[in-house]
Each structure stands twice: as C-alpha cells, then as structure tokens.
Structure 1
Amino acid sequence: MTVVEGAEPKGAPRALWTPRALAAMLGVPPNTLRTWRHRYDLGPTARTAGGHRRYTDEDVERVRRMLVLTASGIAPAAAAAMAAANTPAHEAAVRHVGVSSRRVNVGLRRAANRLDAHLVQDIATTLIAERGVVAAWEHVLLPLLVDLGERFEAGGKGIEVEHVASTAIQQALRDVPFPGRPGRLVALLACAPEEQHSLPLDALGAALSERGQTWLNLGARVPADVLRESIGKLAPAVVVVWAHRADLAERVPVVELADRPDLVVALAGGGWLGVESPDSVLRPATLREALGLVLAAVRVEAH
C-alpha cells in the first residue's frame, strides 16, 4: 500500500527520506537508487500529498539490506529479492558461500571511506556468519585493517576511516554469541601493559565462542599485577598475552607466568619477535594457530 504523507493510517510507517537525501545519507549515487527502483521494485513506497516519492523507515531498511548483501558479493537480483523479503543479511550470506574476498573487501572499503560504521559492521557480521571468524579475519578483515593503517602511515590521512572500520569490526566480533558454559575458564586474554590494540584478542575470543569455549578478555593496557591476580582468581587453562611492540612486551612477567603449574602461556603479536622467553612458552603467529593451541590445551585437560 502506498502511504501518502499527511494522510497515513494509524500505525503506518512515516515517510522520511527523499531519494536524493537517502542517497547522500548512504553514500551511493542517486542513479543507483533509481536503478534498484526500476529493475527490482526496491524503491520508495510513500508519496507526499503532491505526489513526490518518499522512503519510509521500512524502505530505508530494505535498501540498507540491499547494500549489505551486494557488498557481500551477492548478485543484485538475488540481493533485491532477499531484501524485499526481509531476509536477514547473515542468513542470506550463508546461502551464498564462496563469494570472493576481493568483492567483500571492496564493499567494506567503500563503507569505511563513507564513515558508515553501521554498514561496515553489517558486512563484517554477514562475512563472519558465512565463513566463520578465522577465515573472515585472516582473508578479509585483517588485510583490510592492515591496508588502512599503512595508507595512514604513508600519507598521514585516513585515520578516521581506520578508526571507523576497527570499531565496527570489533563490534561485529563481539556480537558472536558467548557460550556461557559452566566449568573452568578455558582462556584468559590480555594485552601487555600500555598496549592499546586489543582487536586481535576480540577476534580470538569470537573464534573461541564459535567453538563453544569459555574465555575472558581483560582488554587493553593490563598491568602486570592485575594479570597475576586475575590468573590466580580464575585459574584459566591458557593465558594469551598480546603485544605489538617489543617495549610493551618486555613489561609482561613472562618468566613468572611460565613457572605457574597447569598454565599454558601463549605470547601473540609482533612485539614478541626478538624478546626472549622460556622454552615452554608458545608463540602463535596467526589467529588460526592461537585458536589451535587453546583447543589443544583443552583436549589435553580432558584426558
């Protein structure tokens, strides 16, 4: 039913957006919206009293789903059908496994360049649902973040794009349901003292959640005494400490941690390169390796 602004029936969605305003808000060319309206009937369903087209809140949500699905690599015709049917983006992605990483990367980059945090998060969530945390992180999300960081370092511009992408991806990772299983804590995750880059630990936590494992992330800038006390209270099977610079890694009491019985110590991040540690300490180089060593420690405990 077409809604006429100023004469909506009770409970009808309000007509809020002109096509031009919606295009500007989403950062897409107005021609794109016109094409979607003509080819896929994915357009405004409301009109003003003067006959001008307007997008309602529900229309905007359908267009946003279309953006997420096409950015995830789904063909426009299929994406439009799913958007019109209100198919959640993550469910649609699961039905279309095998989309190239390059196409998804382009969609993420465009959304980040527009500073559209919601769209970046939606695409990342869809990607994780389709491929799983490890594959999404290693093949798409991490390369994107590295590239954005290098672009800022080279030209001194784009820090806001990197921050938007990082924050949105972090939220997508944190939205992976936590298993909440009772019993001993499997993994305690922590950054080195003064280390502020905690996103890789969010990725590891999300990957552990996918495997039904319990974990706790102490987050950024964890003082050495706090790490000691937390290990004493929680008695985790594994502790993973992240550092991206050597001067930060050197503040972690690695030798003391390695002397604790029944504790597997893993040091992750480039900051540990060249930093000496006991032979018993593990050095995962990738998210996949970090996940594998945690799961291996759990299997050993089970036996």
Structure 2
Amino acid sequence: MQSDPSPQAPHALPAAALSTGAVARHLGVSPTTLRSWERRYAIGPARREDGRHRRWTPQDIARLELMCRLTARGVPPGEAARAARGAAPAVRARPPQGGPGGQGALPLGEVRPECRGLARAAVRLDASAVQELLEAALAELGLLTAWEEVIAPTLHAVGRKWASAGERYIEVEHLLSWQVSGVLHRIRPAPAQARTAPVLLACAPGEQHTLPVEALAAALGERGVPVRMFGAALPAEALCDAVRRTGPRAVVLWAQSRATADPALARSVAGIEWGLRGARGHSALLLAGPGWGAGTPDPRAERLFGLRSGLDVIVRLAADGPPATGAAPAGPAACDS
C-alpha cells in the first residue's frame, strides 16, 4: 500500500499564534518558502502583529500542512494552495494513528523541533529547504549541538527507515547526506595554531561513511587545530605512508561497521615511528565509530565515543604537542593489514 511520503505534525499545536520561523521549523520548510507561498498563492497568516509581524494560527498551520502533503504527492503548488484554502482543514487534537508523523514519517522519537522539520524536508526531497534548515541549526545551536541533537538523529532515522523498507528511502539518505556534507565543508576554520602538528582523519579501507569524520574535521577547524582529511576508504599502505610523511599528533581511524574495522591495520598504525634517528616520534591512534566495538586491538590505541568527547580528547592532545620516543634507530613499522 502506498503511504503518504510527507511527515505530519507529531504533537497538538499550541493555541497561541506562532512566528514564521517557528512554523517553518515545524513544517520543514524555509521561512523564505513560506513568504513566497503567501505572496504567490495567498496562503498566509490570518493576522499580523502591529501590521507587520506574521502570526500563524493553528488553522493557518493546518492549511499549510495540507499544502505540504499535496505538493509531496506531486500536486502543483498553485493547485495545492487552492485546495488548502478551500478545505479549511481542522486542527488535529492528537497525533495521527500509527505513531508520530503518520505512515511516511521517519522514526524520530523525542527530538527537537528542528530535527522534525529537517526530517520532513528530507522526506519531501526538498534540497533547498534541507540546506537552509541545516545552516540555521548550525548558526543558532553551534556545530556540536546541531550535530548531536538535529543532524545525527535525523541521519539515524533515515537509516532505520530505509533499512526497514527495503530499497525505499535510500534517495532520502543520499540527499540528506549530501546536504550535510556541503554545510560542514562551508564552515570556515580558525587560523591554525603555530607549530601545531596536524591531526590525520581517515576512514578504514572499504569504509564509505564519512559524515562523522567530516563533522570532526569541521569542529577541529573551528578550534584552530590543523587537519589532514583523507575521507572514505583510504588504502592501508596510503594511510601508513601519510603518517610517516606528516608526523601527525594523532590519527583518527573511523569504521562504521565491524566489516571495515581492521585490527591488524590499527596495530600497524599504532606502531609507526617517524622523524630523525635518535629523536623519533609516534602518533596517538584514536579509533572512532561503532565498528571497533568497546575495546581496542592494541594497548597503544584509544577509543573515541561521540563528537563532543572525542573533540576534547584531540584538542588536549594537540595542545600537549607530539610525543617523542627517544628510542634507538628503528625501522618503519610494516603496514600488514
């Protein structure tokens, strides 16, 4: 049976009229889109404060919800607006049956309103709204909170949805992931701290999930920590060569699944020494991602759990400077994964 692809409101709406920004977050559209609909299709708020500020009543919002559902089904916006204006939909008193959001909604649970709005926009494949909502969340909440409370829960919900629905909703995950990657790459890094060794970020060989590492790269950049980002599926030999060539303060190796987590590679990287003979150094190895499990395959490695705590660990390491072994001349460790 075909389900309505547009999520619906999870909770009863407040009796008080809402601002345009609040309504936009509720629906998963941008404030610009709401103003455009009002101007083009006369589907606007019933009242304004002081003649200028838009205030949307529950009845106004119910019409907008109907318009969103119709446009998600392919109805042209003009026709959807006429139908919404003429229908005068009733305001829901409680969530629809079948769980918050209806049959087509993402399984979000208890989350921030910004998260629900982002999910609605992603399911509608509204790329411009997804981008604007992501940028607004980053600007208002900061990267760490936006990632933990808006972006990551939505990504996880999309993953659960398509995993339980066969091949459906994969396009939603791809669109959302692309937009998340784009906004993370646009975060401007702070000037790098002088004489600070870089942090090397890479995904294990065969690992294609890069967004958590991209978020970590952006967060380190905000703090002026220099980063060498290698992204998805870096071959084992290339990773070892990069460690020897750059002498990083730390190496973060991401594995989303146990299939890509390579204990032999972790042991090899942990054993690499670099630098001049008699003054060799080594890099801290930090294993990130659920693929590694709770422990580590090498006592010299450390596990990272979550963006915020992992960021604290790396910032402290960067401030301490690279450790030197002081060992006798040693040959480079083999990369035997």
TM bin (shorter chain) = 0.5 to 0.7
3-state secondary structure, aligned to 2:177? helix
- Whether the aligned pair in 2 keeps the contact of 1:36 and 1:42 (CA below 8 Å) is no
The answer on 1:257 being equivalent to 2:266 is: no
1:300 to 299, 320, 329: 320
Residue 154 of structure 1 and its aligned partner are, at CA, apart by 0.7
1:175 and 2:186 are equivalent in the alignment: yes
Q: Distance in 1 between matches of 2:190 and 2:242?
A: 21
- Relative distance call for 1:101 and 1:276 in structure 2 (3 A) is closer
Q: Deviations over 1:93-118 (max 9, x none)?
A: xxxxxxx9521012211211221222
SS at match of 1:278: coil
Partner of 1:282: 302
TM-score if structure 1 supplies the norm length? 0.66
Secondary structure at 1:220 match in 2: coil
Specify the alignment match of 2:259 in structure 1. 247
1:208 corresponds to 2:215? no
CA contact (8 A) 1:237 1:297 kept: yes
The aligned amino acid for 1:35 is G
Question: Which structure exhibits the higher relative contact order, with contacts defined as CA atoms closer than 8 Å and separated by 6 or more residues?
Answer: 2
**Structural mapping, 1:35-184, within 5 Å:** 35=44, 39=48, 102-156=112-166, 157-181=168-192, 183-184=195-196
Query: Which structure has the highest helix share of the two?
Result: 1
CA distance in 1, matches of 2:140, 2:282: 36
Matches of 1:42 and 1:252, distance apart in 2: 62
Kindly tell me: are residues 125 and 288 of structure 1, through their superposed partners in 2, closer, same or farther at Cα, counting changes over 3 Å?
same
**After TM superposition, where is structure 1 displaced by more than 2 Å over at least 4 residues in a row?**
26-34, 36-43, 178-186
CA contact (8 A) 2:255 2:288 kept: yes
Alpha carbons of 1:36 and 1:234: their partners in 2 closer, same or farther (altered >3 Å)? farther
Shift of 1:289: 1.9
Q: Secondary structure of 1:249's partner?
A: coil
Cα separation, 2, equivalents of 1:170 and 1:138: 15
Q: CA deviation at 1:262?
A: 3.0
The answer (yes or no) to whether the contact 1:250–1:275 under 8 Å persists in 2 is no
When the two chains are superposed, the root-mean-square deviation of aligned CA atoms in Å is: 3.0
Secondary structure of the equivalent of 2:302? Answer: coil
Report the counterpart of residue 79 of structure 2 in structure 1: none
CA–CA distance in 1 between the matches of 2:178 and 2:261?
Answer: 24
CA distance, structure 1, for counterparts of residue 261 and residue 234 of structure 2: 12
Are residues 1:217 and 2:201 paired? no
SS in structure 2 at match of 1:248? coil
Rg: which structure is higher? 2
Q: CA deviation at 1:151?
A: 0.6
Q: Percent identity?
A: 32
Say which is worse superposed, 101-110 or 217-226, in terms of deviation.
Answer: 101-110
Q: 1:192, 1:220 within 8 Å by CA — same for their partners in 2?
A: yes
Higher alpha-carbon deviation: 284-293 or 178-187: 178-187
Provide closer, same or farther for how the CA distance between residues 105 and 274 of structure 1 changes in structure 2, counting only shifts above 3 A.
closer
